[in-house]
Amino acid sequence: MIKNEELFIGIKDAFPIVLGYLPLGFAFGVLANQVGMTVTQAGLMSLLCFTGAGQYIAIGVMQAGGAVFTIITANLLVNLRYFLFSTSMVPHLKNVPPALATLLSYGLTDETYAVAMTRYQNHSATAAYMAGLNITAHIGWIGSSLAGALLGTLITNTDRIGLNFALPAMYICLLVFVVGNRNDALVAGISAVFCLLLGYIIPASMANLSNIIVATVLAATLGVLIDERR
């Protein structure tokens, strides 16, 4: 009974994430269609990769005629932040079997991480909750990607309907969701300023890959220092 309850709570907590994924996944499906990917290919990429930022990068590289090696390298750099995310979750997963936690962690994204860590502040982590949260979010992403790829031929200009702002809007919502006090806001603000400065100094092609990693490391370091001082 407890496992079923945890599962349904995870599914319920994933609904806001799914709502955010609908425009993001739909936009990805549309763009995938425009660069020549089939519906099956777009769906398989969302199933096997499940990285919104990485998939958008892949589409951009394909559109520019880049190599597969470039796509793989860019994805490795951009998604290095998940090493930090998963490491910070380890202390909360002591009651979850390691093999099962490893399997369910395939569904770890920025959004599921934010929701899960917020819950783990007051509740113990369970495999059932992780399954409900991560699998539901993944299904939402795959479904929206398929819908976008299917209807992509009907949309010729994604900017006109605001799909180009879908990804930044999602991250802004996540930031508001996880900032719980003045110290959190301070860390977020300093990291944002540093990211903007880095983007101004370094050429865009390089900064796009390094900003996320550097800002994540900076934010984590600042967070630890402030927490220890407090």
Residue pLDDT tens, the chain, 230 long: 567 888 999 999 999 889 888 888 888 888 888 888 888 999 999 999 888 878 887 887 787 777 787 788 778 877 877 888 888 888 888 888 888 888 888 889 888 998 998 888 888 888 899 999 999 999 999 999 999 888 877 766 666 666 666 656 666 766 776 676 777 788 778 777 877 777 777 655 544 555 666 766 777 787 778 777 76
Both 130 and 206 in a single domain?
no
Residue where one domain finishes, among candidates 135, 164, 193? 164
Residue 63: domain span: 2-164
Both 6 and 33 in a single domain?
yes
Residue 7 to residue 24: CA distance in whole angstroms: 25
Looking at residue 181, the DSSP 8-state letter turns out to be S
Phi, then psi, of 114 in degrees rounded to 5: -60, -45
Q: Is residue 169 part of a domain?
A: no
Looking at residue 67, the DSSP 8-state letter turns out to be -
Both 20 and 101 in a single domain?
yes
50: left (phi over 0), alpha (psi -120 to 50) or beta: left
Tokens 């880049």 sit on residue: 66
Query: What pLDDT does 11 receive?
Result: 93
Q: Is residue 172 part of a domain?
A: no
Q: Count helices and strands (H / E) in the chain.
A: 11, 0
Both 185 and 146 in a single domain?
no
DSSP string, 38-55: -HHHHHHHHHHT--HHHH
Is 26:163 a contact under the CB 8 Å cutoff? Answer: yes
* Domain total in the chain: 2
Both 104 and 16 in a single domain?
yes
Both 83 and 195 in a single domain?
no
Query: How long, in residues, is the chain?
Result: 230
Between the CA of residue 204 and those of 28, 169, 201, what are the distances in Å? 22, 21, 9
Both 184 and 90 in a single domain?
no
H-assigned helices in 79-122: 81-89, 98-104, 110-120
pLDDT digits (tens, 9 = 90+) for 138-189: 999 999 999 988 887 776 666 666 666 665 666 676 677 667 677 778 877 8
Both 140 and 71 in a single domain?
yes
Is 86:134 a contact under the CB 8 Å cutoff? Answer: no
Burial 75-85 (b: 16+ CB within 10 A, else e): bebbbebbeeb
Residue where one domain finishes, among candidates 108, 137, 164? 164
Both 104 and 197 in a single domain?
no
Residue 133, both tokens: 């949260």
Q: Which candidate, 94, 124, 123, 93, places its Cα nearest to that of 108?
A: 93
Both 140 and 202 in a single domain?
no
Q: Is residue 170 part of a domain?
A: no
Q: Is residue 8 part of a domain?
A: yes
